[in-house]
């Protein structure tokens, strides 16, 4: 089997580790996370209230498309990581696969998790700012205040576009509702 001949970071040509039998690395975990997030999004999209007059192009359509795309990309990521060929890259003299960057992976994974936990109490704009800052940090940014500012700007623009452009209400946050007397 070709997978048994592949080496993994830390393995060598004399002692290769099989991707299937060896460690389950960060790329495969990322694929699994994409599948789970996509499945959760698809299930959540089915809870969106739709008028009986809407037959096909309702508010469930785009979240469902994104959800299916996440699941497909997640499965593809897992398949490529576990069974994909690295022979071409090695033949071209490419460097060995670097060690997994677990802190960055976990920080990127924390972003959507933090968003889900904070969108109701803090609102869409603030939750989007936290998501943006976490993912930016995972990609190497060290400018937290700037990242939070960009994130809140993106969240506010999306909030206004959805509210006024599409008539869809995104959460402002229970904390802000209570402060504003709502």
pLDDT tens string 131-178? 999 999 999 999 999 999 999 999 999 998 888 877 788 888 888 777
The pLDDT of residue 131: 95
The pLDDT of residue 1: 41
Q: Measured between alpha carbons, how far is residue 176 from residues 125, 179, 182 in Å? A: 11, 5, 8
Q: Measured between alpha carbons, how far is residue 126 from residues 5, 15, 41 in Å? A: 48, 49, 20
Q: Which residues of the chain register pLDDT less than 70?
A: 1-24, 54-56, 85-98, 181-182
In whole angstroms, what is the distance from residue 130 CA to residue 66 CA? 21
Number of residues that this document lists for the chain: 182
Specify whether 28 is located in the same domain as 114.
Answer: no
The pLDDT of residue 4: 43
The pLDDT of residue 181: 67
Specify whether 23 is located in the same domain as 93.
Answer: yes
Which of 47, 73, 100 terminates a domain? The answer is: 100
Query: Positive or negative, the Cα torsion across 123, 124, 125, 127?
Result: positive
Give how many domains the chain has, as a whole number: 2
Specify whether 20 is located in the same domain as 5.
Answer: yes
In whole angstroms, what is the distance from residue 137 CA to residue 151 CA? 12
Residue-number span of the structural domain to which 172 is assigned:
101-182
Specify whether 57 is located in the same domain as 105.
Answer: no
The pLDDT of residue 126: 95
CB count in 10 Å sphere of residue 1: 9
Q: Measured between alpha carbons, how far is residue 43 from residues 22, 71, 75, 147 in Å? A: 32, 12, 18, 31
Block residue for tokens 């402060």: 179
In whole angstroms, what is the distance from residue 14 CA to residue 10 CA? 12
Specify whether 75 is located in the same domain as 111.
Answer: no
Specify whether 75 is located in the same domain as 57.
Answer: yes
The pLDDT of residue 20: 47
């Amino acid at each position: 089997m070709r997978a048994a001949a592949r080496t993994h970071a830390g393995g060598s040509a004399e002692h290769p580790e099989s991707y299937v039998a060896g460690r389950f690395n960060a790329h495969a975990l990322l694929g699994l996370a994409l599948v789970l997030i996509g499945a959760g999004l698809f299930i959540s999209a089915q809870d969106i209230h739709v008028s009986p007059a809407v037959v096909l192009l309702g508010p469930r359509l785009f979240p469902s498309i994104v959800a299916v795309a996440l699941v497909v990309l997640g499965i593809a990521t897992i398949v490529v990581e576990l069974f994909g060929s690295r022979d071409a890259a090695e033949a071209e003299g490419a460097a060995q696969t670097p060690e997994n960057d677990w802190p960055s992976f976990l920080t990127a994974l924390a972003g959507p998790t933090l968003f889900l936990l904070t969108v109701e109490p803090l609102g869409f704009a603030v939750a989007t700012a936290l998501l943006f800052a976490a993912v930016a940090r995972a990609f190497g940014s060290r400018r937290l205040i700037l990242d939070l500012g960009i994130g809140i700007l993106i969240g506010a623009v999306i909030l206004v576009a959805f509210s006024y452009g599409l008539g869809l209400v995104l959460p402002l946050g229970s904390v802000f509702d209570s402060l504003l007397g709502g």
